[in-house]
Structure 1
C-alpha cells in the first residue's frame, strides 16, 4: 500500500485564522514570561534578557539559616540572612538578597538552566535541608515578524522571519481553531 500526500486545502476564512495564529505564535516567542509550578517544590520560569528573577526563600525569624543558590552544579551565592553572603565572582553585581528572596538581575541568555535553592537550618535542632528547584529559560525579545503568504489556489504557504531574537522559542499558549 502506498500513501500519497495531498496538498493542504483551505478556505479563505481558515487561511486568515492560520495567518493570525502564526502571527500570535511568533509574538509569543521570547515575549512569554511567567512562572508555572511543575511539581511540588519545582517551578518553571520564562524571562527576557535583562530582566530579573526572584528565588523566594521561606525563613523563620527565630532561626538561623544558610541559603545556597545553586546553578547546575556550582553555588552562585551562599547567604546567611542577617549576617553576610558570599557571591561567586562572575555574579557579583547581579545578585541581591532581601525580603526573604535571592534575586538574579540583568539576565543573560547563558543564565538559562536549572537552579536549586537549598536551605540549611543552623539552629532549632537537626532538620534536613529543604530544596526548591527552578527551571529558568531566558529569551532575547523577538522583533516584529515579517510574515509572507503565498496563495496558489487552494494551497497556502506561510513564511515568517524575524531579524532579532533567540533561536529557540517559548512554547506558545494553546490556540485552537475549529477543525484543527
Structure 2
C-alpha cells in the first residue's frame, strides 16, 4: 500500500486592498509554533490584555502591532515581509528615510532637525486587517485552531463512554398532517 502526500509549492496570496502579500507555501510546525510563541510573549510583555484594549497605552498597542507584523513577516516571502515591516520616517507628509527596525526609526525621527518627524508603517493597514491576516495564517499553517500555549488550551474532553440510549426521541416521531 502506498500513500502520497502533497506539499504546497505555490505561495499563499493575501490580497489586501490590491496589494498582494505572498506567504510561504509550507511552514514547518515547530517554526510556526516558535514564531507564535514569540508573538504571545510580546503580547504578554506589553502588559496589555489582547481581549480588552480599552485601557491600553498607545505605545503598548504599537508594540503589539509591531509584534504581529513581525510574526506575519516571518511566514511571508522576503519581498512581502520587507513591505510589511518597513517603516518610514515622515515629516510634513514626505518620507525622509526607511527602516526595518523600530528603535532605529524612532531615533532617526527624534534627531530630525526642527522636530515633527513621525514613524509610520510603509504599508499602512487597519488593525482589523492585521488580525484577519493572523487568523488566516493560523488556519493555513496551524490547522485552523490557535496553537495551545497553556495547559488551559488543551484538547477538549473526550465524550463520555457507554452505549447510546435506545429510547425514541420525540423529535423523530411521526406527526400527523392534515390532508394526507
TM-score category, normalised to shorter length: under 0.3
Relative contact order higher in (CA < 8 Å, ≥ 6 apart): 1
TM-score, normalised relative to structure 1: 0.23
TM-score, normalised relative to structure 2: 0.23
- Structure number having the greater helix percentage: 2
- Structure number having the greater strand percentage: 1
Larger Rg: 2
